[in-house]
Amino acid sequence: MDKETLLARVAEIQWCHTIDLGNGVVTPGLSKTKHLATDELPPIEGRSVLDIGAWDGLNAFRAEQMGASRVVALDHYAWGVDMAERNRYWDECNAQGVVPDYRLDETRFWHPELPGMRGFELAKEALGSTVEAKVGDFMKIDPAEVGTFDVVLFLGVLYHLREPLAALERVRALCNGVAVIETSSIHIPGFESEGLIRFYSADELDGDYGNYFGISAPALAGLARAAGFNSTKVVAGPPQLRKSRRPQPPHVYRLLMHAFV
């Protein structure tokens, strides 16, 4: 594909991820999530990788470029839900002071032709990638149908799920090595060693009604063990709060943990 054609096709899509497609073309991703540093990832070369909640596929393509033997990108909501339509409904709910009905994602806002997958497909084509796509709700899909992987990427998904322990049990069922779990966490000075889970009943976290939980590092480690992982390691953890700063807990921060089988 020549550069002009690629640029025109990129411009037709609303991107979540900023992906370097080569030839000077970079997708204009809306996500503000920090890209994973190489030392935040376990060894990838020669290993099979499953990216749960892959969206445009940034991390799946990255795993492929790092030499993974096989990469599967799995997603559901971002590929099938008309986000613009849903956001208008959320704005209406906000104006009326009511909490949106999440079930409409899979009825009123659901498009079986998967319009949200266009970014992933175009990036895959432009990169000449062999990453495999798997469409499905991670919480409903039969794990036996997906198989097991050496590395499972579970990045920015846990806080969206209504059943965190059941979700981690599913991650465990798909993992025969290490799961890389990135989620939104909470830090309450004086309660650092407590396993706390904060529930967001509306759109308090980033204005998103689909964000439900802030999970402290000890709570995530405990959930991972309860789900059947043998050990965990915090790779990016609580912020170093300035001593002089007046505590205004809870502080929200990005937590990255490796959970080992």
Ligand X SMILES: C[S@@+](CC[C@H](N)C(=O)[O-])C[C@H]1O[C@@H](n2cnc3c(N)ncnc32)[C@H](O)[C@@H]1O
Q: Which of 81, 78, 121, 125 is nearest to 104 (CA)?
A: 81
CA pair distance 230, 68, nearest whole angstrom: 24
Q: For the chain, give the number of residues.
A: 261
Residue 164 or residue 238: which is nearer to ligand X going by CB? 164
Query: Interacting stretch for ligand X, rule CB under 6 A, among 20-28, 40-48, 137-145, 249-257?
Result: 137-145
Q: What is the dihedral of CA 172, 174, 175, 176, to 10 degrees?
A: 110
CA pair distance 255, 42, nearest whole angstrom: 16
Please, what is the minimum distance in Å from the beta carbon of residue 59 to ligand X? 6
Can you read off the two tokens belonging to residue 167?
């979700």
Q: Does 76 bind ligand X (CB under 6 A)?
A: yes
How many residues bind ligand X (CB under 6 A)? The answer is: 15
CA pair distance 116, 131, nearest whole angstrom: 17
Residue 139 or residue 226: which is nearer to ligand X going by CB? 139
Contact 15, 32 (CB under 8 A): no
Please, what is the minimum distance in Å from the beta carbon of residue 53 to ligand X? 3
Query: Interacting stretch for ligand X, rule CB under 6 A, among 89-97, 149-157, 183-191, 233-241?
Result: 149-157
Please, what is the minimum distance in Å from the beta carbon of residue 243 to ligand X? 32
Q: Which of 75, 105, 209, 214 binds ligand X (CB under 6 A)?
A: 75
Q: Which of 92, 106, 125, 137 binds ligand X (CB under 6 A)?
A: 137
Contact 53, 74 (CB under 8 A): yes
The residue ranges that bind ligand X (CB under 6 A) are: 31, 33, 53, 55, 75-78, 137-139, 155-157, 160
